Amino acid sequence: MARNNGKRGFLQSAMDGLIAARTKQVNRYVNGALLMLNDETLKANGYSRDELRKRDIGYMI
């Protein structure tokens, strides 16, 4: 089966888009969950509340 060199197929492009969208969704969810923790727990795990707020979380829980 011949393949076009240098061009991505439709299914591969669609899958890449799906993966990128789900990755953003997961990151927003995790950042929101982390923001529900207290400051001491965040600091113990290497996060700061200000750092998490600067990330693109999209919504607040």
pLDDT of residue 48: 93
In tens digits, what is the pLDDT along the chain, a chain of 61 residues?
Answer: 456 566 789 999 999 999 999 999 999 999 999 999 999 999 999 999 999 988 865 554 4
Write b or e for each residue in 26-61: b if 16 or more Cβ atoms lie within 10 A of its Cβ, otherwise e: eebeebeebbeeeeeebeeeebeeeebeeeebeeee
- Of 52, 45, 51, nearest to 31 by C-alpha is 52
**Structure confidence at residue 11 (pLDDT):** 95
pLDDT confidence of residue 23? 94
